[in-house]
Structure 1
Amino acid sequence: MIQDYLPGIKNGGSLQFFLMAGPCAIEGEDIALRIAERIVNITDKYSIPYIFKGSYRKANRSRVDSFTGIGDEKALKVLQKVGETFGVPTVTDIHESHEAAMAAEYVDVLQIPAFLCRQTELLVAAAQTGKVVNIKKGQFLSAASMQFAVDKVKDSGNSKVCLTDRGNSFGYQDLIVDYRGIPEMRAFQVPTIMDCTHSLQQPNQTSGVTGGKPALIETIAKAAIAVGADGLFIETHPDPANAKSDGANMLHLDLLEGLIEKLVRVREAIL
């Protein structure tokens, strides 16, 4: 369980799934704090362990003029302030090995993006920080093949590793979720997470802006809990249409509590 990796996490004794949630990218301090406050209130209400998510920089963008961030140090300090203000762990993604030590000074969990999950130097650098390492499964890989990514982190002296499914490539412009992957990755004895928003992306659009199907977030999340996912990853924003990144597949923040309430009932039904 994630509580074994992050013993200070709020609601750590809960039998509920845990939640990684927040905006796709850190857009500024005020909006990050507002989003975090809303989610903390919801997760406290339902006794769900919570990790605030926000990318300090977006390196994988379709177009060169796409938003990438407000500045590395500035965004990392926002993540740090969120964690200190609300007493919750924070997670951000890194893209190159030299970023690991820098980001580790500000956050509790380092996330490896799906496209980079086979990058040995990146995984080793993340592991050597001693932080929790959350590896997203590549859209091009089977669940079983993620054992090698887990081994790279553990063989580097860090047993605090999680895996996140975010769907598989289905043609050029769509993804599909194979729910067999959840129990397959849980068999590696690591917390396994379902990314309920990125798994609904529609990449490689002719406009250069990734599309999505946010109306199906509830479907993805319910199915993930039903097959035993330990945690959920959800990007959420109070105004997805005007979010700086990935607005097409984010959950509107106003819908989060209703979704969580339903998911708690699903979890209770399978325990």
Structure 2
Amino acid sequence: MLKINKLKNQNSGNFFLIAGPCVVEGREMALEIAGKVQEITERLQIPYIFKASYRKANRTKLNSFTGIGDELALGILKEVSETYGLPTITDIHESHEAALAAQYVDVLQIPAFLCRQTELLVAAAQTGKAVNVKKGQFMHGSGMGFAVEKIQAVNPNAQVMLTDRGNSFGYSDIVVDYRNIIEMKAFEVPVVMDCTHSLQQPNQASGVTGGKPALIETIAKAAIAVGADGIFIETHMNPAVAKSDGANMLALDKLEALLEKLVRIREAVNKTL
């Protein structure tokens, strides 16, 4: 089970939720999304971590939106946490970012492309913060044990999570192999299913990543059924105008109905254990 400060509803028996916009686009939108998701998760007794990248470093095109400024965005994440009493998570891309981001958030996230970067994992571990490592699209679940080892070698008490976000398949497509969840659970750390990035269609000729958001519910239901501890969902009031990854986001007004279904599936899973 997660041991993160400010994480509520930890004894509910539910999965935990990591959710929010892809990137901090501004103060009002971050607070609005966090407030709405908190209302839903409190009613459903779901442990909730607010997610938003303070800066996007891995965009397809040079002129793609990357952020509103590092310290401004990190300050907004801190305000979200203080306003709603929620833990927050954000990505880091280089080792020197770890110490700065750790001053503002509760969990540091390692992007999938960087899950083998030893210096980055070590820097995250040295902050003492919880670390969520996304499985590379090029890896199988059993290979992620080495990421856990690197972090725990530096900080034996580190809270580590592993997140699946699918595997590259052919050109510009990703598929989900649910064996990865079982393989990563063998490392005795919480395992998360990223239900939105796993539906990306990257490297489109337009330079804008595509996606299949209609399948978010399918991915999420299957993940809970096979035993995922947490669900990761990027959400936005209007994905069509989101500044990053809008093509595979879940519209905020659809989140509550999805979570209600997932809670019922989780209840059924718990009864079979």
- Deviation track 1:81-115 (CA, whole Å, cap 9, x = no partner) reads 00000001000000000000000000000000000
User: Where does 1:91-102 land on structure 2 (aligned, <5 Å)?
Assistant: 91-102=89-100
User: Where does 1:12-161 land on structure 2 (aligned, <5 Å)?
Assistant: 12-158=10-156, 159-161=158-160
- Which residue of 1 is the match for residue 245 of structure 2? 246
- Which residue of 2 is the match for residue 234 of structure 1? 233
Q: Which runs of structure 1 show a deviation greater than 4 angstroms over 4 or more consecutive aligned residues?
A: none
- How far apart, in 2, do the equivalents of 1:186 and 1:85 lie? 33
- How far apart, in 2, do the equivalents of 1:260 and 1:8 lie? 21
Name the SS for the 2:178 alignment partner: coil
The alpha carbon displacement at 1:19 in A equals 0.2
The alpha carbon displacement at 1:8 in A equals 3.1
Residue 172, structure 1, aligned to residue 176, structure 2: no
- How far apart, in 1, do the equivalents of 2:239 and 2:154 lie? 39
Name the SS for the 1:155 alignment partner: helix
Name the SS for the 1:234 alignment partner: strand
- Which residue of 2 is the match for residue 261 of structure 1? 260
- How far apart, in 2, do the equivalents of 1:39 and 1:131 lie? 23
- Deviation track 1:21-55 (CA, whole Å, cap 9, x = no partner) reads 00000000000000001000000000000000000
Number of residue pairs aligned between Structure 1 and Structure 2? 269
- How far apart, in 2, do the equivalents of 1:188 and 1:181 lie? 12
Q: Which 5+ residue runs of structure 2 have no aligned equivalent?
A: none
- The two structures have a TM-score, normalised by structure 2, of 0.98
The alpha carbon displacement at 1:270 in A equals 0.9
CA contact 2:89–2:107 (8 Å) conserved in 1:
yes
Q: Give the letter aligned to residue 99 of structure 1.
A: E
- The two structures have a TM-score, normalised by structure 1, of 0.98
Name the SS for the 1:135 alignment partner: strand
Q: Give the letter aligned to residue 173 of structure 2.
A: D
The alpha carbon displacement at 1:14 in A equals 1.4
Q: CA RMSD in A?
A: 0.6
Q: Which 5+ residue runs of structure 1 have no aligned equivalent?
A: none
The alpha carbon displacement at 1:7 in A equals 4.5
- How far apart, in 1, do the equivalents of 2:19 and 2:34 lie? 9
- Deviation track 1:211-270 (CA, whole Å, cap 9, x = no partner) reads 000000000000000000000000000000000000000000000000000000100111
- How far apart, in 2, do the equivalents of 1:12 and 1:145 lie? 29
Identity level (%) = 70
- How far apart, in 1, do the equivalents of 2:155 and 2:249 lie? 35
- How far apart, in 2, do the equivalents of 1:68 and 1:270 lie? 40
